[in-house]
Structure 1
Amino acid sequence: MQTLIAIIVIFGLIIAIHEWGHLYVAKKVGILCREFAIGFGPKLFSKKKNETVYTLRLLPLGGFVRMAGEDPETVQIKPGYEVGLTFHSDDTVKEIIVNNKAKHADAKIVSVERADLEHDLFIDGYSDDEEGLIRYDVHPQADMIVDEEREQIAPWDRQFGSKKPWKKAAAIFAGPVMNFVLAFILFLIYGLIQGIPQPIVSNVMDDSAAEEAGLAEGDRIVAIEGESIDGWTDMTQMIQQSPDEEITMLVDRDGATESFTMMVDSVYEDVVDAEIGQIGVEPTWSHSVFESLQYSVSQIQEVVVLIFDVLQLIFTGDFSLDYLAGPVGIYDYTGEVMQLGILILVSWTAMLSVNIGLINLLPLPALDGGRLVFIGLEAIRRKPIDPDKEGVAHFIGFALLMLLVLMVTWNDLNRLFM
């Protein structure tokens, strides 16, 4: 149960910050955002603030921001319709009641002759209490009420399709960017609390290779086998790759450089299922803000490089589903991470956020990167791609993405239970 709660909180945070990025920038460039949703399926909670309905839905498998104009309007007022109208004090239309007009006693009943709710914002119609054809000016924030459900109309200048390509791209790009911002903040928190390990010896273990070679507390390791050491991670990686090998290490001791030669010990590591090297020293921990900032940037870079290394395997023919983890695999890994403490869970959340942000930027239909490709083509062609063709591309991309998720999930189940 704890793992399930952790998964919901982690992905709720990652999804919320991603969708908030879309929402914030879309509003800034003037796009009407009808809904900000966390999850899919039936609504569990909803609250409208300003022009946007904020909803929490049953299935915590993602989220979305519903921008006006991305999908065709579900209800259109056509000639012959009979609608109810209510008005603001300046006589502009406040509400357009499509059905259940009897529940709105104050509404004026109008038989529609013509209507334009996108560009000129008017309804021409006939009313029993007025003679002749009357034009009713519609307020740009008027509500359409269908089955007692309200939805604000979307004038053309508030729709996604009306915006310049760079504004569309900004609204789409903002989601993945916020995932990187979240990861940066989480890695920074980890660094400030946990501290950043420095290649400075704080303790030498008894009977270790380091003790036999003569390393001492306060020694700063500056190079191994002629390669300079920039941080503790660099040092440990080089040592771990050299089990049962002799290495030469340059150390700064009290301002003087000294050389030490030692035979690296070999230990079995369950996580990597292999022998790795160690010399038996512990680092000095720094809680410097500057070093924590550097750490945050470097961790994001490492995760990005790792992801691209895996993607590169697709083109070399060495790719395997074992390199990917689906919902089941992530659930299992999260359970293991929880055993290591809250700070490791924070770091794990940051890595997942980088993954989601970067994967979303891949130029594949159904992902943000795919949408950016179509926006780029629009900018080059100087006219939008046919919405129907783009919709088909995204639908196919989504179907293939779901197929991949199913395959990875099946692979996770086989790996865990078979």
Structure 2
Amino acid sequence: MNTLIAVIVIFGILVFVHEWGHLVVAKRAGILCREFAIGFGPKIFSFKRNETVYTIRLLPLGGFVRMAGEDPEMIQIKPGYEVGLLFNQLGKVSRIIINNKSKHPDCKVIQVEKIDLEHDLFVQGYVEDKEELVTYEIDDKAEYVHDEQPTQIAPYDRQFSAKTVGQRAAAIFAGPLMNFVLAVFVLILYAAFAGMPVDESVVGEVTEDGVAIQAGLESGDRIVSIDGESVASWEEMTNIIVQHPNESLDFIIERQGEQFDVTMTAQERLGADDEQIGVIGITAPREHNIGQAVLFGFTETYEYTVLIFEALGMLVTGQFSLDHLAGPVGIYNYTGEVASMGLLVLFQWAAILSVNLGIINLLPLPALDGGRLLFIGLEAVRGKPIDPQKEGLVHFVGFALLMLLMLVVTWNDINKFFM
């Protein structure tokens, strides 16, 4: 249950921040954002505010911001249609009733002759039981109502495609960018709470399973020398200890101005390079410095970015196989393991996932933000947009291939889980 809660919270925040970046920049560019959704599939919760419907959907596999003009309008009103019109105080059409007109007895029914919901914003038609042709001006925030579900019209200047190349690129790029911003913020919080390591030969904490606690070492003790060799920094001290697993070492310890001798046998542990190293069971001292914490947030985000790009490069060159990739099941399991290590470690994991989400979305692949930026870039070079139908087909095929890759990776995750 703890793992499920951790996964829902972390991925909910990652997706929310990503889509919020798209939403804010798109709205600032004047684009009508019809829906801000967390998840896919059927709606389980929704509310509307300032033109946008905010929804939570059943399948927590991502999210989206539905901008006007990205896809064809679901309802198209053609000549010959009978629609009902409702008017605002200025005499402009505020609602166009597509069906169920009987539920709106105050509406004026006309048979449409001409209608323009994008540029000139008017509707022309014949009033019911009359032969006269009438023309009505449509409000730029009017709604059409189908099956009692209102949808705001999207004049051309409110559509995604009507905006400049720079505005559209900014709206798309803002999502991944916010994932990097989130990673920096989370890592700053981590460093602020956990403190920053100090490069001094001082005991920060004493672990319960180490030889240091058995020898009586305490937090704040300064290690002056090891086997007669003076040490002043954490790095100098650990370099000596790690090189002598299962060996007896003589320490001079300073506590409150007084020095005493201690002999400890370094325990043997498996290091990062699968080598046996020596440890005595102490952690580095830490200080709480907001300036260092901010610097840590930026530098660690950069380091994570470099590592992920290196891994992607190894994947492309074949040094890294698909078996090493983790899908939803694998990430769920890893998140559970990390959650058991404590909240601060979970912070670091969330930052790594956020950077990963940002980078993956920027890859120039169809259906991803990077693929959409690629088409916008091609438009800037060509001086005219790519045929929307061709671009849509490319994104559709790309999305299908991504789903196929996701299924393969998930299958590998499940096999690993039961092995």
What is the CA–CA distance in structure 2 between the aligned matches of 1:301 and 1:289, rounded to whole Å? 19
One-letter code aligned to 1:105: P
Which residue pairs with 1:360 in the alignment?
361
Contact 1:182 1:350 (8 Å CA) reproduced:
yes
Structure 1 SS opposite 2:119: coil
Which residue pairs with 1:22 in the alignment?
22
Contact 1:67 1:159 (8 Å CA) reproduced:
yes
Which residue pairs with 1:47 in the alignment?
47
Which residue pairs with 1:102 in the alignment?
102
- Quote the offset at 1:197 in angstroms: 0.9
What is the CA–CA distance in structure 1 between the aligned matches of 2:64 and 2:268, rounded to whole Å? 48
- Quote the offset at 1:128 in angstroms: 3.3
CA RMSD of aligned residues (A): 2.8
Which residue pairs with 2:286 in the alignment?
285
Which residue pairs with 1:231 in the alignment?
none
Change (3 A) 1:243 1:352: farther
1:336-392 CA-partner distances (Å, limit 9, x unpaired): 111111111111111111110111011111110010000000111111111111111
Count of matched residue pairs: 388
What is the CA–CA distance in structure 2 between the aligned matches of 1:31 and 1:203, rounded to whole Å? 57
Contact 1:210 1:279 (8 Å CA) reproduced:
no
One-letter code aligned to 1:66: R
Which residue pairs with 2:394 in the alignment?
393
Contact 2:270 2:277 (8 Å CA) reproduced:
no
Contact 2:269 2:278 (8 Å CA) reproduced:
no
Are residues 1:167 and 2:181 paired?
A: no
Contact 1:47 1:54 (8 Å CA) reproduced:
yes
Aligned residue runs from structure 1 range 300-379, under 5 A: 300-379=301-380
Are residues 1:134 and 2:154 paired?
A: no
What is the CA–CA distance in structure 2 between the aligned matches of 1:55 and 1:192, rounded to whole Å? 34
Contact 1:85 1:94 (8 Å CA) reproduced:
yes
One-letter code aligned to 1:386: D
- Quote the offset at 1:409 in angstroms: 1.3
One-letter code aligned to 2:123: I
What is the CA–CA distance in structure 2 between the aligned matches of 1:148 and 1:414, rounded to whole Å? 47
What is the CA–CA distance in structure 2 between the aligned matches of 1:167 and 1:77, rounded to whole Å? 30
Greater shift, 164-173 or 314-323, is seen at 314-323
Find the partner of 1:220 among 219, 233, 245.
Answer: 233
- Quote the offset at 1:240 in angstroms: 10
What is the CA–CA distance in structure 2 between the aligned matches of 1:339 and 1:215, rounded to whole Å? 39
Change (3 A) 1:190 1:116: same
- Quote the offset at 1:198 in angstroms: 1.9
- Quote the offset at 1:396 in angstroms: 1.5
What is the CA–CA distance in structure 1 between the aligned matches of 2:128 and 2:226, rounded to whole Å? 103
Greater shift, 299-308 or 45-54, is seen at 299-308
Which residue pairs with 1:61 in the alignment?
61
One-letter code aligned to 1:212: I
Aligned residue runs from structure 1 range 63-212, under 5 A: 63-128=63-128, 132-203=132-203, 205=212, 212=226
- Quote the offset at 1:50 in angstroms: 1.2
1:281-325 CA-partner distances (Å, limit 9, x unpaired): 632202101110111112111211111111111343212124321
One-letter code aligned to 1:269: L
1:42-81 CA-partner distances (Å, limit 9, x unpaired): 1101101010000111111110000000000111111100
Contact 1:201 1:282 (8 Å CA) reproduced:
no
What is the CA–CA distance in structure 1 between the aligned matches of 2:107 and 2:327, rounded to whole Å? 53
Structure 1 SS opposite 2:90: coil
- Quote the offset at 1:132 in angstroms: 1.6
**Unmatched tracts of structure 1, length 5 or more:** 225-234, 245-263
Greater shift, 79-88 or 309-318, is seen at 309-318
What is the CA–CA distance in structure 2 between the aligned matches of 1:215 and 1:159, rounded to whole Å? 71
Greater shift, 119-128 or 196-205, is seen at 196-205
What is the CA–CA distance in structure 1 between the aligned matches of 2:94 and 2:369, rounded to whole Å? 35
One-letter code aligned to 1:220: S
Change (3 A) 1:239 1:26: farther
Which residue pairs with 1:297 in the alignment?
298
Which residue pairs with 2:207 in the alignment?
none
What is the CA–CA distance in structure 2 between the aligned matches of 1:100 and 1:385, rounded to whole Å? 39
What is the CA–CA distance in structure 1 between the aligned matches of 2:20 and 2:29, rounded to whole Å? 14
- Quote the offset at 1:406 in angstroms: 1.3
Change (3 A) 1:91 1:278: farther
What is the CA–CA distance in structure 1 between the aligned matches of 2:78 and 2:3, rounded to whole Å? 52
One-letter code aligned to 1:296: G
Contact 2:241 2:279 (8 Å CA) reproduced:
no
1:168-197 CA-partner distances (Å, limit 9, x unpaired): 000000000111111111101100001111
TM-score in terms of structure 2 length? 0.86
1:6-36 CA-partner distances (Å, limit 9, x unpaired): 1111101100010000000000001000000
TM-score in terms of structure 1 length? 0.86
Change (3 A) 1:172 1:292: same
One-letter code aligned to 2:147: D
Which residue pairs with 1:37 in the alignment?
37
Structure 1 SS opposite 2:341: coil
Aligned residue runs from structure 1 range 231-270, under 5 A: 267-269=268-270
Contact 2:268 2:279 (8 Å CA) reproduced:
no
Change (3 A) 1:71 1:97: same
One-letter code aligned to 1:198: V
Structure 1 SS opposite 2:202: strand
Contact 2:187 2:351 (8 Å CA) reproduced:
yes
1:258-299 CA-partner distances (Å, limit 9, x unpaired): xxxxxx9683339x6823534546322021011101111121
Structure 1 SS opposite 2:78: coil
